[in-house]
Amino acid sequence: MTNAQAVEWILVIRYGKSAHRATYGRLSSSNKYTKDYIQLYRTQSFFGDLSAAFPSLADNGSLNLTYRWPSGSADGKLLERSADRPHLAWETNRAPAPWRMIPNPSESSAATIRGNPSHNNEADADAEFHSLLSSGFGQPFLIATKVRGDGDVLHLRVLIENPEPAFAWAALEDAPVTIQELAADTSEQNALAWKLFTENGEQALYFNTSSKISPWHDKPITALKHIEGEPELPDGDSYLQNSIVDSDVTAESLKKSDTEVAIFEILLNNGNYEVPDSTATVKTRGSAQRAFANAVKENYHWKCALTGITSKEFLIASHIVPWSVDDKIRLDPSNGICFSVFADRAFEYSYLIIQDDSVVRVNWEKIGDDSVLGEQLAAFDGAMLNAPKSHPPKPEYLNRRRSL
């Protein structure tokens, strides 16, 4: 399970005209779109914290940086003094991807700010900025995070204050209070806010370097510890054979920890689907199933993908590849199908087989002489599962299930 690492220094930049012009790119015949850097503060307090986060800066006057985000990186530079103040710079006309505009940003794209990045004159580029802020998109903030012990690396992200619904995944309001307070300290006239975190300070912030969505946390997300007094599931063969492990019906009735459910939901939303065996208590299994079930059932519109049943008391989030088989995909919504209790039982015990194209086949050999069960299942032979909103069953998962 991916660890969230301690933050050493964080910089929040209000996306105003100056930041827009710096990150948009240089334009010919313009004296405003000429910068390959963002100007920082020259105050003693700012430079003191900056030097603490980057010790070699005071000695050398500048240092090479790496800007990093989940899908890439770019070279940069931190200057102690340029035109009498520090600068956060990058290669000519190559602002880091997370801080640039693109026409259709999404949860999976490097960029978050929506706009046309191809204008070649100052008036149109300025108009793009004004159009963004007047469109209801929300107020963007550029954020640079330095993780403790990570060298001269800045992890870049963007958050949006009061975003339109389509960009709720980047909402500033969902970030830890520390970041919201820093953003609130900025204005059009004072666009920067920052914070240095001392190693043994009372306040702390943690950052998941592999996640674009909600990477900051008030607590470190590490391997979940055993809850005191909670029995561990058995190890080895006995672990794999335990009915608690692979029965999703049973798992949905287990006790849960609200804290663990919240952590699992964060991990799932960030694309981290692993739940290691070493952390698995009975309560953890129940908590993981709750987070998984909420995602899977929502994905299928809270409706059985086979029977169409919508009564919530009858719905189960069924793992395609069973829990015990692969700990790295236990939370993956693409490894789940929303079934009714009857369909879940038939699928779990291989009375129903699902092909790669989501067509359902009855395992007549398995049914044998049970004519009543055969009559019940015959209606579904050749049926196709209802399509989910997203995260359809992966063919590789369905193939692994059939091989079992």
Question: 97: which 2 tokens?
Answer: 């991807």
Which residues are 39's β-sheet partners?
Answer: 87
User: Which of 33-42, 138-147, 221-230 is predicted least confidently?
Assistant: 221-230
Is 67's pLDDT higher than 60? yes
Is 393's pLDDT higher than 70? yes
For 258-317, how does the pLDDT look when each residue is reduced to its tens digit (9 = 90+)? 888 888 999 999 899 998 875 556 778 888 999 999 999 999 999 999 999 999 989 999
Per-residue pLDDT, 298? 95
DSSP string covering 231-283: PBPPPHHHHHH-HHHH-HHHHTTS---HHHHHHHHHHHHTT-----GGG-BHH
* R_g (Cα) of the chain, nearest Å: 26
Question: Which has the closest alpha carbon to 213: 275, 163, 257?
Answer: 163
CA distances from 59 to 11, 54, 56, 79, 82 (A): 22, 10, 5, 11, 15
SS3 315: strand
Kindly list the structural domains of the chain, giving each domain's residue range(s) and its CATH number in brackets, ordered by start: 5-217 (2.40.330), 236-403 (no CATH)
pLDDT bucket at 239, cuts 50 / 70 / 90: very low
H or E segment at 77?
strand 72-82
Contact between 218 and 205 under an 8 Å Cβ cutoff? The reply is: yes
Q: Is the model's pTM score more than 0.75? A: no
Residue 111: CB atoms within 10 Å: 21
Per-residue pLDDT, 324? 86
Per-residue pLDDT, 259? 81
Share of the chain above pLDDT 70, in %: 90
Question: Which has the closest alpha carbon to 318: 298, 333, 301, 308?
Answer: 333
Per-residue pLDDT, 28? 87
Of residues 235 and 263, the one with the higher pLDDT is 263
Per-residue pLDDT, 283? 77
CA distances from 11 to 78, 182, 209, 288, 340 (A): 13, 8, 16, 34, 49
For 185-224, how does the pLDDT look when each residue is reduced to its tens digit (9 = 90+)? 999 999 999 999 987 665 689 998 888 988 998 765 544 4
pLDDT bucket at 162, cuts 50 / 70 / 90: very high
